Amino acid sequence: MNKTRNPGKRPVGRPRIGQPHPIDIHVGSRVRLRRTLLGLSQEKLGDSIGLTFQQVQKYERGANRIGSSRLYELSRVLDVPVSFFFDDAPDGDMPPVSPSAAPVDRGLDATFEQDAMGRQETLDLIRAYYRIGDTTVRKRVFDLTKAIAQVQSKDLADD
């Protein structure tokens, strides 16, 4: 393969330094979400898969990509299927963005969702929800919550 480069240009396919891909950011945020829900520290998660807490931090920010074998290890330690990390992922063809940049194309809802997932209230609610042992009751609580949210959003739309 010929690796000659044009002056001032990067090789094709090589990511820009300092600009994580939106999928890497999303996967990292899902790792953080699940780790936090389980009450694990970054250090404890890192110990369980042979990493330092600094490496876990980089994964969670999307600064470092998580390889497939590491993702598989994380899914086992965090007790979720690998697909969990890609749930609600942005389109794969989005251009790389800074992790601190506000979502542009997805608007206010995406910003709200991102902020809400990091709040202690959200984590407490999710932990309490999963402490409901009876799956039928848990499903009813879920359905009730969705119904209330649907009525609320309809009322906001009517205003």
The model's pLDDT over 109-150, given as tens digits with 9 standing for 90+, comes to 444 455 666 677 887 888 888 888 898 998 999 899 889 988
Which one is the CATH code of 16-93: 1.10.260.40, 3.40.50.970, 1.25.40.850, 3.90.170.10? 1.10.260.40
| Rounded-to-integer distance, Cα 137 and Cα 130, Å | 11
- 22-37 and 120-131 are packed helices; what angle lies between their axes, rounded to 10 degrees? 60
| Rounded-to-integer distance, Cα 74 and Cα 26, Å | 15
pLDDT at 68: 94
Say which residue the tokens 């600094």 belong to.
54
- DSSP string for 8-51: T-PPTTPPPTT---HHHHHHHHHHHHHHHHTT--HHHHHHHHT-
For the chain, the domains span 16-93, 106-159
pLDDT-based confidence at residue 11 (cuts at 50, 70, 90): low
pLDDT at 53: 94
The model's pLDDT over 35-63, given as tens digits with 9 standing for 90+, comes to 988 888 999 999 999 999 999 999 999 99
pLDDT at 108: 40
Whole-number CA gyration radius for the chain:
19
| Rounded-to-integer distance, Cα 39 and Cα 41, Å | 7
pLDDT-based confidence at residue 7 (cuts at 50, 70, 90): low
The token duo for 15 is 């990511």
pLDDT at 15: 54
Per-residue DSSP letter, 83: G
The model's pLDDT over 71-122, given as tens digits with 9 standing for 90+, comes to 999 999 999 999 989 888 876 555 544 444 444 444 444 444 556 666 778 8
Q: How far apart are the first and last CA of the chain?
A: 62
- Using CB atoms within 10 Å of the CB of residue 33, give its burial: 0 to 12 exposed, 13 to 18 middle, 19+ buried: buried
| Rounded-to-integer distance, Cα 77 and Cα 74, Å | 5
pLDDT at 111: 45
Select from 77, 96, 97, 93 the least CA-distant residue to 85.
77
| Rounded-to-integer distance, Cα 79 and Cα 130, Å | 14
